[in-house]
A and B are shown apart, each in its own frame.
Chain A
Amino acid sequence: MAPALETIGIGRNFGGIVAAHNISLKVEKGARHALIGPNGAGKTTFINLLTGMLRPTRGRILLDGEDITTVAPFLRVRRGIARTFQINQLFGDLTPLETIGIAVSERLGSGADWWRLPGSRPRVTDDLVELLDRFRLADVMHERTATLPYGRQRLLEIALACACKPRVLLLDEPAAGVPEAERHEILATIEALPADVTVLLIEHDMDIVFAYADRISVLVNGELFVEGTPDEVGRDPRVKAVYLGEEAIDG
């Protein structure tokens, strides 16, 4: 069976700078795969390559066996790969209801409806309500996103990616910037993600990584350094060396 997500020899240069080099990664269906590495290792670049925001200089990307290397970003979403951003990328003036609503409408093909009123299609409304409930955003669904506290915005950020019902979900540091008090809610949400969704998680926080992931890849200087189960990676002396000092700050 084809892995949910696979990259073959992905590389990306920016002029003379090599941001990604020969990354070959396989993420199995339903996996909880973590991607870790020191700052500047190229993790976000990798995500950008996966979603199509960046074109790879070489290599291929396969989603469920299909080559999506040259597919436009918005089409990749339709094929089933969605992401969250390290810093919330939301629509400040829209409400959570509208935000998730537009994503669900898009997915169900009514995003371009110019004659109907939003909410006139029951399939859209059902999914919308379900998502708002699941991410506990129902009580703020009519507030402007920009007025919500950061933790709530982060939940919306994840909810928005889930609204696309992806087969593969890329989470870019989901707990980043979230105050301590609201972290558990984010983590609980990630743990509650459906089992059939494949998750690739970028994280700095080792507690989250070791609690959640069933497989870890370590990225250093744009290259895959080490890969294995949490135990294997946790015990690997090379990983410890790379992270010397980092763990004390982040862990």
Chain B
Amino acid sequence: MEIAFWLIAAATIYFLPGRHLILTEIAILALFALSLDLILGYAGIISLGHAAFFGFGGYAAGLLAKHALVTEPVLALVLSGLAAAALGFVTSFLVLRGSDLTRLMVTLGVALVLREIANRYSELTGGADGLQGITMAPLLGIFRFDLFGHTAYIYSLIVLFVLFVIARRVVHSPFGLSLRSIKGNPLRAAAIGIPVDRRLITIYTVAAFYAGVAGALLTQTTAFASLDVFSFDRSADLLLVLIIGGTGYLYGGLVGAVAFKLMQDWLAHLTPQYWQFWLGLVLVAIVLIGRERMGRWVSPLRILGERLSERIARLFGAASGTEGR
């Protein structure tokens, strides 16, 4: 099933050349959602301000490019991610204590503070107009960013894939298991010797790294960074992505991102001004229907998908041994 997903994703490079711009958006959103899933689905931390790391990484990448501090985009990407991770580390202590509401407030507060700072220091960040005048050097010195977004999409997809594989390894490891136990019963987790705080800080920092990379990708692929990377809307949309796709199994962010973007695109065509209404309605409906029930509806599809993918994998395996992974 997983192989099928990535094969299809890779196939879109060739089969949907005209849609690369929106596909890049989907890939970035998917990475962002993946980063939130790490803390929400695996560690049980509710965050309304994950956009803080997204935006921080985004502005870091923008500033690195604009002032030609680091011109090679991949390197800049990693550095921006690390910057966001540092921010994540520093703020992780805020989410260790307190109730769900406290965590909500604190995470939201951090995102808002960052937005205020970005707004305040407009000489540096461009303020409400955004960070402009960014020109991206070719990737690894070779691949230019083209106007149609082809390079951007392949770049984003590869970054998503690499980070996904790492995340997958992490969540299936003993570390990931300890996170799930912390999420399930933090009291008992501590009572069997798990250093709960340390694990939470670690995953929060890693999630911040991922979010920062996503933000940096956005800046690099659009050559622009604006204040709305910190906006509440972005964090809220992200939550919607994860509830559509489901949390706790990593693919939720990816599937949800696709579904969300498609839905958003469709709704925006229908009612350009008031699509937020329908978004809200979907949110309300999903919660009322119940996320587990939705999962149950989806599972026959998933089983079908699994059988299909086995066939496809065999086909591809027969045709060429080097496709996909």
Direct contact of A and B (CB under 8 A): yes
Query: Contact at A83–B191, with CB atoms within 8 Å?
Result: yes
B261 contacts the other chain (CB 8 A): no
Q: How large is the interface on A (under 10, 10 to 19, 20 to 34, 35 or more residues)?
A: 35 or more
Q: Mark A97-110, 1 if CB is under 8 A from B, else 0.
A: 01101110111001
Q: Which residue of A lies closest to B177 (CB)?
A: A102
Among B169, B172, B173, B202, chain A packs the most CB atoms within 10 A around the CB of: B173
B187 within 8 Å of A by Cβ?
Answer: yes
Could you mark each residue 157-192 of chain B with 1 if its beta carbon is under 8 Å from any beta carbon of chain A, else 0? Answer: 000000000000110111111101100110111111
CA distance A73 to B194 in the complex (A): 9
**B199: shortest Cβ distance to chain A, in Å?**
7
Query: In chain A between 66 and 84, which residues have their CB closer than 8 angstroms to a CB of chain B?
Result: 73-74, 77-78, 82-83
Bound-state CA distance A111–B195 (Å) is: 9
Find chain A residues with CB under 8 A from B177 CB. 94, 98, 101-102, 105, 118
CB pair A118 B173 closer than 8 Å? yes
Q: Are A164 and B169 in contact (CB under 8 A)?
A: no
By a CB distance below 8 angstroms, the chain A residues around B105 are none
Determine if A57 is an interface residue (Cβ-Cβ < 8 Å). Answer: no
Q: Please name all residues of chain A whose beta carbon is closer than 8 Å to the beta carbon of B187 when the two chains form the complex.
A: 53, 89
CA separation between A93 and B181, bound complex, in Å?
9
Closest to B175 in A: A114
Chain A CB within 8 A of B321 CB: no
Count of chain B residues with Cβ under 8 Å from any Cβ of A?
26
Indicate if B272 sits at the interface (CB-CB under 8 A).
no
Whole-angstrom distance between the alpha carbons of A161 and B193 in the complex?
10
Tell whether A74 pairs with B188 under 8 Å between CB atoms, given A105-B174, A114-B175, A115-B173: no
**Contacts of B185 on A, CB cut-off 8 Å?**
89-92
Using a CB-CB cutoff of 8 Å, which residues 183-225 of chain A contact chain B?
Answer: none
Question: Please, which residues of chain A bring their CB within 8 A of the CB of B9?
Answer: none
Asked if residues B192 and A82 are in contact (CB atoms below 8 Å), the reply is: yes
B193 touches A77 (CB 8 A): yes
Q: Once bound together, how far apart are the Cα atoms of A94 and B198, in whole Å?
A: 21
Residues 109-141 of chain A, each 1 if its beta carbon lies under 8 Å from chain B, else 0: 011111111100000000000000000000000
Chain A residue nearest in CB terms to B199: A112
Q: How many A-B contacts if CB must be within 8 Å?
A: 100
Which of A92, A94, A99, A112 is within 8 Å of B174, CB to CB?
A: A112
* CB atoms of A74 and B190 under 8 A apart: yes
Question: How far is the CB of A21 from the nearest CB of chain B, in Å?
Answer: 25
Indicate if A160 sits at the interface (CB-CB under 8 A): yes
On chain B, the residues within 8 Å of A99 by CB distance are: 181
- Residue in contact with B173 in the complex, picked from A53, A106, A107, A116, CB distance below 8 Å: A116
CA distance A83 to B193 in the complex (A): 11
Q: Which of A73, A83, A89, A102 contacts B178 (CB 8 A)?
A: A102
Known: A91-B184, A99-B181, A102-B178. A113 touches B191 (CB 8 A): no
A163 on the B face (CB < 8 A): yes
B196 within 8 A of A: yes
The residues in A between 144 and 158 inclusive whose CB is less than 8 angstroms from any CB of B are none
Contact call A77/B178, Cβ cutoff below 8 A:
no
A7 within 8 A of B: no
Q: Which chain B residues lie closer than 8 Å to A85 at the CB level?
A: 188, 191
Min distance, Cβ A166 to any Cβ of chain B, angstroms:
10
Those of B182-225 within 8 Å (CB) of chain A: 184-185, 187-196, 198-199, 202
Cβ–Cβ contact B193 & A103, under 8 A: yes
- Bound: A103/B177 CA distance, A: 10
- Residue contact B174 to A74, C-beta cutoff 8 Å: no
CB within 8 Å of B: which A6-61 residues: 51, 53
Asked whether B188 lies within 8 Å of A91 as measured between CB atoms, the reply is yes
* A89-B173 contact, Cβ under 8 Å, with A103-B193, A106-B178: no
- The minimal Cβ–Cβ distance linking B209 to chain A, given in whole angstroms, is 13
Contact A78 B173 (CB under 8 A): no
Q: Nearest-CB distance from B128 to chain A (Å)?
A: 41
Contact B173 A74 (CB under 8 A): no
- With a cutoff of 8 Å between Cβ atoms, the chain B residues found around residue A93 in the complex are 180, 184
User: Are A115 and B169 closer than 8 Å at their CB atoms?
Assistant: yes
Question: Does the CB pair A92–B191 fall under 8 Å?
Answer: no
Chain A residues within 8 Å of B189, by CB: 91
Whole-angstrom distance from the CB of B169 to the nearest CB of chain A?
Answer: 6
Identify the interface centre among A53, A89, A92: most chain B CB within 10 Å of its CB: A89
Q: Which residues of B contact A83 (CB under 8 A)?
A: 191
Bound CA–CA A178/B94 (angstroms): 40
How far, in Å, is A64 (CB) from chain B's closest CB? 17
A148–B4 CA distance with the chains assembled, in angstroms: 35
Closest 7 CB pairs of A and B: A77-B193, A91-B184, A114-B175, A89-B188, A103-B192, A105-B174, A106-B193
Q: Known A-B contacts: A82-B192, A102-B178, A114-B176. Give 12 more (CB < 8 A).
A: A83-B191, A91-B188, A99-B181, A105-B178, A111-B193, A112-B202, A113-B173, A114-B170, A115-B170, A118-B172, A118-B174, A163-B192
Using CB atoms and an 8 Å cutoff, list the residues of chain A in contact with chain B.
51, 53, 73-74, 77-78, 82-83, 85, 89-94, 98-99, 101-103, 105-107, 110-118, 160-161, 163-164
Sample 17 A-B pairs with CB under 8 A, ordered by A number. A73-B190, A89-B185, A91-B184, A94-B177, A94-B181, A98-B177, A101-B174, A105-B178, A106-B193, A111-B175, A112-B174, A114-B169, A118-B172, A160-B188, A160-B192, A164-B192, A164-B193
